[in-house]
């Protein structure tokens, strides 16, 4: 009974350990077997009731309980002992089907392919990275070279600008020397003298002027006015260049076989000019010009020019009554000059003659002299 009470208390309070639970269950089974065997045996005479007290953790004082327990002779009970664990049959062998084997083989091959592709991608990435580093280094070298070339180009442009300025100055000096040579040639005529029947009155040319060039005893009209208009249009087109540069050298298109080469340069403004113009304005003028024959010329001999309706006489008709006819005469054309001046004088035109040395083109500059018409 004492053992039963002990196990009952352990069952009442419970245990967290698995061994304790198993022990309690075995004890309970043993008690039940003993009770069943005792009930089969008749109680012997003189059975006396036993009195004992049972204390529980919940009751503070013992409560007397009278229980009639027959006196039973203990009978040995064989308790089965589990000597070894139960044996289970082996699990059936799992054999994959052909589809799974084929799928596994395919996955393995695909894994190998992807692994190889990944290695190739890693190698390609490394190669691209090295290539980019090489390109970056080359770009840096090229940038350094470009910077050095730009500096050299700027230095060359500065030198070219200086040389161009010197060339303009030299050309202006050459033009002045040519003009001086022309003036001296006019004062000292060649051996073959030109006979003039000039009126006693002369004037400086200031109005309309028509030009003719006499060479090889032939006459051709020099379209000076048309060439000057072409220069003015060229100046209008190149205003931006003229603002950023101190000079400009250009040429016109060919008109009637003649072309004008000219030099534009900034001019110093006087106080009067500054008062007349707005602040920030500048003066640009032609400092020198040269007219050269560059194409087929429309020329006429003296006989052709003296005929009515000739190109020479038609050009005279287009000029106004007060216009001045200027002849640019080379040494080989004094004969035609004399015949044409007689015709021009009879037509009541003012005449200006400017002799030229052989091979010297028609030229002019602000430092030159104006024609004298008679």
> pLDDT tens, 304-314?
988 988 999 88
Averaged pLDDT, 70-84: 59
Greater pLDDT, 239 or 332: 332
How confident is residue 73, by pLDDT bands cut at 50, 70 and 90? low
Distances 131 to 120, 137, 138, 139 between C-alpha atoms, Å? 16, 10, 10, 12
> pLDDT tens, 123-134?
999 999 999 999
Question: Whole-number mean pLDDT of the chain?
Answer: 75
22 CB neighbour count, 10 Å cutoff: 11
How confident is residue 44, by pLDDT bands cut at 50, 70 and 90? low
> pLDDT tens, 175-197?
888 877 877 776 655 555 444 44
pLDDT at 364: 78
Give strand ranges (E) for the chain.
50-54, 63-67, 203-204, 209-215, 218-222, 247-251, 258-267, 283-293, 300-301, 324-329, 350-355, 362-364, 372-373
Enumerate residues 6+ apart whose C-beta is below 8 A from 56.
Answer: 12
Greater pLDDT, 285 or 270: 285
How confident is residue 367, by pLDDT bands cut at 50, 70 and 90? low
How confident is residue 151, by pLDDT bands cut at 50, 70 and 90? confident
């Amino acid at each position: 009974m004492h053992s039963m009470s002990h196990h009952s208390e352990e069952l009442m309070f419970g245990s967290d350990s698995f061994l304790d639970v198993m022990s309690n269950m075995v004890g309970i089974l043993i008690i039940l077997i003993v009770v069943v065997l005792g009930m089969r045996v008749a109680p012997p005479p003189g059975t006396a009731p036993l009195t004992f007290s049972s204390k529980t953790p919940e009751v503070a004082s013992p409560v007397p309980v009278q229980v009639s327990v027959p006196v039973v002779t203990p009978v040995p009970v064989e308790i089965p002992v589990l000597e070894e664990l139960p044996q289970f049959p082996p699990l059936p062998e799992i054999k994959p089907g052909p589809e799974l084997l084929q799928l596994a083989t395919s996955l393995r091959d695909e894994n190998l392919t992807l692994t190889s592709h990944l290695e190739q991608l890693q190698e390609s990435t490394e190669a691209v990275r090295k290539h980019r580093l090489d390109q970056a280094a080359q770009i840096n070298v090229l940038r350094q070279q470009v910077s050095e070339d730009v500096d050299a180009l700027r230095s060359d442009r500065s030198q070219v600008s200086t040389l161009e300025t010197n060339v303009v100055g030299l050309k202006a000096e050459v033009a002045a020397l040519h003009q001086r040579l022309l003036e001296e040639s006019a004062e000292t005529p060649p051996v073959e003298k030109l006979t003039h029947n000039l009126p006693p009155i002369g004037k400086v040319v200031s109005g309309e002027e028509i030009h003719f060039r006499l060479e090889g005893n032939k006459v051709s009209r020099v379209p000076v006015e048309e060439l000057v208009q072409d220069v003015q249009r060229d100046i209008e087109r190149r205003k931006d260049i003229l603002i950023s540069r101190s000079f400009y050298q250009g040429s016109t298109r060919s008109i009637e076989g003649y072309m004008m080469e000219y030099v534009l340069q900034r001019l110093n403004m006087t106080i009067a000019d500054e008062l007349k113009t707005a602040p920030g304005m500048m003066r640009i003028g032609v400092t020198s010009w040269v007219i050269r024959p560059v194409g087929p010329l429309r020329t006429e001999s003296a006989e052709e020019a003296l005929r009515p309706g000739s190109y020479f006489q038609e050009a005279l008709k287009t000029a106004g009554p007060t216009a001045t006819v200027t002849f640019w005469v080379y040494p080989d054309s004094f004969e035609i000059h004399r015949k044409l001046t007689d015709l021009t004088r009879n037509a009541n035109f003012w005449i200006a003659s400017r002799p030229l040395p052989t091979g010297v083109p028609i030229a002019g500059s602000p430092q030159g002299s104006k024609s004298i018409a008679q």
